[in-house]
């Protein structure tokens, strides 16, 4: 077991031997130096060198942090009680991690994140803030991403109704120079426009202004975050031997595990750092899930005993140090239970990575560690970890559906595959044929046949286009645990359309080992969008349909369950049906 910067990696003799050999090979070929020199031939020899600006961002931000202090001062003195990030994927996940792990901060606005077109979720944000005392951060690297554009139009319209020409004082933009969002922000007289960096892709942008502007606005100590990131950047630098380079070791371990069939990166996070999982999901899935290869991140899966896991797993434990954990009995019991569970998995022969954070501000160091690790894993797998070729396909499909709606006033008709009083099932032709033996009039039998397609090395993903509220999350957690415990398959849960900018890439472009259950519902309430013929509910429906169509085109095993207007009751019925199907 090797230890470096609060990280240990363990496994059986074959795994640890392969890690030693790969480390020696990287040392002999000076591959870490090639990484830092931005040598594209370390990967595919394509455009990788154009997307490595994140390697230098920490020192650049330390040198120009005065603009972050100025925005923090504006947010504090402006009387803002709340701040809301309007973004998706790489523009929203880091702020969400920071706000849920480190906030709220006394004397600063409470930071919220909106990254869903679900009308109930949009409405909940609107209801939670005082629009006259709220600062909105519209974040989009390209400036053309559909969701932030819609969010920005919606909330700017609401604020303008109350404040007229002063509405722009309640808005910031974070976007690449020259983008359409930059032009819009100038036209609407936003208070400030913070620049992105062209050479940093969205999911690698945590330490750029996409992550640090929201951090500053919510009152975090940005210099302390950057100090943590700088320490990790130094530890992952050219001068460190490969064997003691935390980011490189982690990347090698994950890629070698995947090549040995252990491609389900199962995240076991203690409660203090639990929000980090969603950010890691995007980084790993969107970076490596392509060309039929990739790491499948498993975040938030309820813990289990070793016998409920297959041999396709590698486990990553991330927890706060003992001195940082709260000292009440519940937290102490959780820490003891967490350690015991990881020890049991290691004893059962699973590869295990253990990472300990000194405090919550070390999340910034984790951003850098995992960015290096993901880049290294991409090199070992022989892919470009900086593109996302399959994300655009779902966007194109969605755009075609919303364009059709603007022309005709409705989405194309669908034909149900099976139905009962609780839900309706839809499938494409290929999946209908594969499930046809179950009987078109028996939804329970169809569901049983669909879940019966889970085989060794497969995973099940529940893709829910629902309000991301605690009741729905709990129901989906129980559902995935039932699937895992009865099939030993890894399980994932994604809320749409959020996951389209995250794990959606791996689901469509990664290994064809997923069995997908997409869950949609009628919207009990809907919200119009200024200047558009369609509403938020229609956009969400189009995104779900477009996502389903692309999964089907890629010959994925996918089935859609459509619930009624009472999504909570429908989800409870589906939970029972899944339990019965696997009985």
Residue 195, pLDDT score: 96
User: Of all residues in the chain, what percent carry a pLDDT higher than 90?
Assistant: 90
Rounded CA separation 198/201 (Å) = 7
Residue whose token pair is 């954990």: 325
Helix (H, G, I), strand (E, B) or coil at 496: coil
509-530: pLDDT as tens digits: 999 999 999 999 999 999 999 9
534: number of Cβ within 10 Å: 20
The pLDDT-based confidence of 311 (bands split at 50, 70, 90) is very high
d(CA 398, CA 419): 25
State how beta strands 514-521 and 418-419 pair: unpaired
Whether the Cβ atoms of residue 400 and residue 275 lie closer than 8 Å to each other: no
**pLDDT, tens digit, 9 for 90 and up, residues 106-123:** 999 999 999 999 999 999
* Banded model confidence at residue 437, pLDDT cuts 50, 70, 90: low
What residues contact residue 240 under an 8 Å CB cut-off, 6+ apart? 32, 234
| Dihedral angle, C-alpha 522, 528, 534, 539, nearest 10 ° | -50
pLDDT at 427 exceeding the cut of 60: yes
pLDDT exceeds 80 at position 333:
no
Per-residue burial over 374-407, b if 16 or more Cβ lie within 10 Å, else e, is: bbbbbbbbebbbbbbebbebbbebbeebbeebee
What was the pLDDT predicted at 322?
A: 74
**Position 3 pLDDT exceeds 60:** no
Q: Kindly report the three-state secondary structure assignment for every residue of 372-419.
A: HHHHHHHHHHCCCCCCCCCHHHHHHHHHHHHHHHHHHCCCCCCCCCEE
Q: What is the pLDDT of residues 561-581, one digit of tens each?
A: 999 989 999 999 999 999 999
Q: Which domains does the chain have, with CATH numbers?
A: 2-37+229-381 (3.40.50.10490), 57-220 (3.40.50.10490), 391-581 (3.40.50.10490)
The answer on pLDDT for 330 being more than 70 is no
What would the pLDDT profile of 356-406 be if each residue is shown by its tens digit?
Answer: 999 999 999 999 999 999 999 999 999 999 999 888 888 899 999 999 898
Report whether pLDDT(29) > 80. Answer: yes
Confidence check: pLDDT of 477 > 90: yes
Cα–Cα distance, 505 to 550 (Å, whole number): 11
Say which residue the tokens 């519902």 belong to. Answer: 521
The mean per-residue pLDDT over the stretch 173-199 comes to 97
What pLDDT digit, counting tens, does each position of 35-94 carry?
999 999 999 999 999 999 999 999 999 999 999 999 999 999 999 999 999 999 999 999
Alpha-carbon distance of 318 to 78, in angstroms, equals 37
pLDDT at position 482 over 80 = yes
Average pLDDT, the chain: 95
Q: How far apart are CA 93 and CA 501, in angstroms?
A: 10
Taking a C-beta distance cutoff of 8 angstroms, is the pair 247, 130 a contact?
no
In 3D, which of 316, 405, 374, 363 has the Cα closest to residue 505? 374
């Amino acid at each position: 077991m090797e230890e470096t910067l609060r990280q240990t990696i363990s496994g059986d003799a074959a795994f640890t031997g392969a890690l030693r050999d790969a480390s020696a090979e990287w040392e002999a070929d000076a591959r870490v130096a090639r990484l830092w020199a931005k040598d594209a031939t370390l990967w595919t020899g394509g455009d990788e060198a154009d997307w490595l600006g994140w390697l230098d961002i920490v020192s650049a931000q330390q040198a120009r942090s005065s603009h972050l202090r100025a925005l923090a001062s504006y947010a504090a003195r402006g009387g803002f009680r709340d701040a809301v990030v309007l973004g998706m994927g790489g523009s929203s996940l880091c702020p969400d991690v920071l706000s849920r792990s480190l906030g709220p901060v006394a004397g600063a606005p409470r930071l919220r994140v909106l990254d869903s077109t679900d009308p109930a979720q949009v409405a909940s944000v609107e209801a939670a803030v005082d629009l006259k005392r709220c600062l909105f951060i519209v974040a989009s690297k390209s400036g053309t991403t559909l969701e932030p554009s819609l969010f920005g139009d919606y909330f700017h319209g609401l604020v303008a109704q109350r404040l007229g020409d002063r509405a722009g004082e309640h808005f910031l933009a974070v976007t690449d120079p020259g983008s359409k969002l930059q032009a819009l922000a100038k036209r609407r007289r936003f208070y400030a426009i913070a620049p992105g960096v062209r050479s940093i892709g969205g999911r690698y942008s945590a330490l750029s202004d996409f992550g640090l502007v929201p951090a500053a606005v919510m009152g975090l100590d940005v210099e302390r975050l950057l100090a943590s990131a700088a320490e990790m950047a130094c530890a992952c630098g050219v001068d460190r031997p490969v064997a003691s380079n935390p980011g490189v070791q982690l990347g090698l371990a994950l890629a070698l595990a995947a090549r040995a069939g252990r491609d389900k990166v199962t995240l076991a996070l203690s409660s203090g750092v639990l929000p980090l999982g969603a950010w890691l999901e995007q980084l790993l899935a969107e970076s490596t899930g392509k060309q039929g290869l990739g790491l499948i991140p498993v975040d938030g899966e309820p813990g289990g005993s070793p016998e409920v896991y297959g041999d396709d797993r590698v486990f990553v434990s991330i927890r706060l140090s003992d001195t940082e954990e709260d000292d009440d009995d519940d937290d102490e019991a959780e820490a003891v239970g967490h350690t015991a569970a990881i020890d049991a998995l290691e004893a059962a022969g699973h590869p295990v990575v253990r990472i300990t954070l000194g405090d919550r501000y070390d999340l910034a160091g984790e951003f850098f560690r995992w960015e290096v690790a993901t880049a290294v894993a991409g090199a070992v797998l022989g892919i470009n970890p900086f593109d996302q070729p399959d994300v655009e396909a779902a966007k194109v499909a969605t755009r075609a559906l919303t364009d059709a709606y603007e022309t005709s006033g409705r989405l194309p008709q669908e034909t149900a595959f099976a139905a009962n009083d609780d839900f309706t099932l839809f499938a494409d032709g290929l999946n209908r044929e594969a499930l046809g033996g179950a009987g078109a009039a028996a939804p329970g039998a169809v569901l049983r046949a669909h879940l019966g397609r889970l085989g060794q090395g497969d995973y099940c993903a529940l893709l829910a286009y629902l309000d991301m509220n605690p009741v729905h999350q709990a129901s989906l957690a129980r559902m995935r645990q039932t699937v895992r415990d009865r099939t030993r398959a890894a399980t994932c849960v994604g809320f749409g359309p959020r996951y389209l900018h995250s794990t959606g890439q791996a689901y469509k472009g990664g290994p064809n080992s997923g069995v997908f259950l997409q869950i949609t519902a009628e919207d009990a309430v809907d919200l119009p969008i200024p200047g558009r013929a369609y509403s938020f509910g229609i956009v969400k429906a189009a995104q779900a349909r477009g996502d389903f169509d692309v999964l089907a085109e890629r010959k994925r095993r996918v089935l859609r369950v459509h619930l009624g207007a009472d999504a909570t009751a429908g989800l409870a019925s589906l939970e029972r049906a899944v339990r019965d199907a696997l009985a």
